[in-house]
Structure 1
């Protein structure tokens, strides 16, 4: 199993540099689209507090994570044509700035190493998701998804419905998810 530790020290350096130039936002206790690649595709979003979900087209759930988080860090270098949405799952604060400005600030402040660590971590998260889901039967996918939820805090676990989360993440039918969950009890 891959070990994945969020690079908080590197996030702190990036945040310290970028936050001076960002436009702040805050969402209170509501699901709200924070970032949509078709609207904000040329912005970098930094989430400072809260829980967010990342979804791909057709509402496919890529994952749920807790702040801190950066979305669109590399968008100033390479255009991304795959539609993504970042959605707040409750209270959420952060800021955004143009992706080209993000790249300029990273260059000026020699933060490429920190940006690389952050992007490598994101890549590892997606790799871990692939390892858990691709080429596995329904039982194994559901089990892997449940195990990934162990790291969530209690508040997050109680707010996100387990069956709904598994269905959206794996695209396994609700009836099969319910059957496997019942067998695991």
Structure 2
């Protein structure tokens, strides 16, 4: 199996140290969507506190959930595509920086290597996700997201049900997800709390 992309913590922190003071502090309530342009000008977000999600604009599929600290919008400033939507999943705090101001600071402080590290991480994370779910059957897709959900902190797992987590990220039908989960529970591969919140996984089979 291909290794999971490694989050470039050092590069993220260097960028945040330089860029955060240049922006305006923004507090976003849960479920609030964030825009890529303010008064027609592109912006970059330094993600300081909370949980954000990234969704495809075309179909609403959630492709990533990110905990602080992180940085978003560099690619949108350089190559505007507006293919993805950023949304706060919990009460979040960000610094919103004018794109031109951010690029000038990146140049001044010699941070292009760090920018490359962050953008490479984003690209490889999307590629890794696709390798796990594209051209896979329903069970394999559900298995991947169950394993991903298991790795999240308990406070997050107790906030989103298994069904909601998988549906938001795949578009699979409610019945196909519930049938698979029911079968796994029957065979004692999964334990979940009332409401469908994941507690434990036990030796999920590779295929069914």
What RMSD over aligned residues (CA atoms) do the two structures have, in Å?
Answer: 1.9
Distance 1:39 1:150 in 2: 41
- 1:8-30 deviation line (CA, Å, top 9, x unaligned): 111111011101211111135x2
Distance 1:174 1:39 in 2: 40
Distance 1:148 1:41 in 2: 36
Instruction: Quote the residue 2:183 is aligned against.
Output: 183
| TM-score, length basis structure 1 | 0.91
Q: For residues 63-82 of structure 1, what are the structure 2 equivalents within 5 Å?
A: 63-82=64-83
| TM-score, length basis structure 2 | 0.81
Q: Which has the higher contact order (CA 8 A, sep 6+)?
A: 1
1:61 aligns with 2:62: yes
Q: For residues 23-102 of structure 1, what are the structure 2 equivalents within 5 Å?
A: 23-28=24-29, 30-35=30-35, 42-57=42-57, 58-82=59-83, 84-102=84-102
Instruction: Quote the residue 1:170 is aligned against.
Output: 170
Unaligned runs of 5+ in 2: 186-208
Say which SS state the counterpart of residue 160 (structure 1) adopts.
coil
- Structure with bigger helix share is 1
- 1:81-114 deviation line (CA, Å, top 9, x unaligned): 42x2211111211111122222211111100111
Runs (4 or more) in structure 1 with deviation over 6 Å come to 37-41
Instruction: Assess, with a 3 A threshold, how the Cα gap between structure 1 residues 88 and 41 changes in structure 2: closer, same or farther.
Output: farther
Report the CA distance between 1:41 and its aligned residue. 7.3
Q: Which has the larger radius of gyration?
A: 2
Unaligned runs of 5+ in 1: none
